[in-house]
Amino acid sequence: HDLEQYKGKWQELFPGKKLCLEIGCGKGRFTIGMAELFPEKAFIGIETQHDIAYYPGKAAKDKEMDNVKIICANAEALNEWFEPGEIKELYLNFSDPWPKARHAKRRLTHRGFLAKYAQLLGPGGHMRFKTDNRALFDFSVEEFKEFGCEIIALSYDLHNSEYDNPVQTEYEQKFSALGTPINFCEVVFK
């Protein structure tokens, strides 16, 4: 992908639509589901694995959706593809927990990534994070606080909370069916 060509020009692809980004969209249930529910927004899904990214790409094409784009790439280069403030909402759903301490910097909620997101979203940008992994969740909440994000929603059991959860991911349905509580947090970047 030559994604740099879109930097600052995403509105040309999605005129008048608020840009939302899911990092690690997997087979796309969330990205596609949200795009169907919110046609006034555009949803960009990033997935590193080609064989997985194929599914949401095909679903968007089959449904002739004009508010979805699937990118098969590594999120490390995010800031080369988007102008600061170009994305308005960011979603991290069931990201790889990288459980070993020495791999902490690989976690998508590590402050190194938060710095990228802060630039991507600009002040007032929202990020929503869901995981079944309590250790990752606790690490992430601490990172959000240390980074200076404002935590506006937090639950250790999303499905039994007051918070809106319009679309469940594949993993979310699987873990929920097993009785595993889903941790959820929404933050605003300053």
Is 62 a domain residue? yes
Residues 114 and 137 reside in one and the same domain: yes
For the full predicted model, state whether its pTM sits above 0.75.
Answer: yes
Q: Which residues are catalytic?
A: 96
Query: What is the block-wise mean pLDDT of the chain (190 residues), using blocks of 10 residues?
Result: 87 95 96 97 96 93 95 91 96 95 94 96 97 98 98 97 94 95 97
How much is the pLDDT for 1?
60
CA dist., res. 104 & res. 161, Å (int): 29
Residues 30 and 98 reside in one and the same domain: no
How much is the pLDDT for 185?
98
Three-state secondary structure of 85-137:
CCCCEEEEECCCCCCCHHHHHHCCCCHHHHHHHHHHHCCCCEEEEEECCHHHH
Residue with tokens 């997101």: 117
User: What pLDDT, in 10s, does the model give residues 12-68?
Assistant: 999 999 999 999 999 999 999 999 999 999 999 999 999 999 999 999 999 999 999
- Give me the helices (H) in the chain, please: 10-13, 29-37, 50-62, 78-81, 111-121, 134-147, 170-177
Residues 97 and 188 reside in one and the same domain: yes
- Residue that finishes a domain, picked among 44, 73, 102: 73
Is 175 a domain residue? yes
Residues 53 and 137 reside in one and the same domain: no
How much is the pLDDT for 89?
98
Residues 29 and 107 reside in one and the same domain: no
Residue with tokens 């979203």: 121
Residues 42 and 91 reside in one and the same domain: no
Residues 35 and 89 reside in one and the same domain: no
Residues 62 and 117 reside in one and the same domain: no
Mapped onto helix, strand or coil, the DSSP state of residue 52 is: helix
For residue 125, the enclosing domain spans 75-190
Q: What is the CATH classification number for the domain harbouring 25? A: 3.40.50.150
DSSP secondary structure letter of residue 160: G
Is 1 a domain residue? no
Residues 22 and 115 reside in one and the same domain: no
Residues 98 and 182 reside in one and the same domain: yes
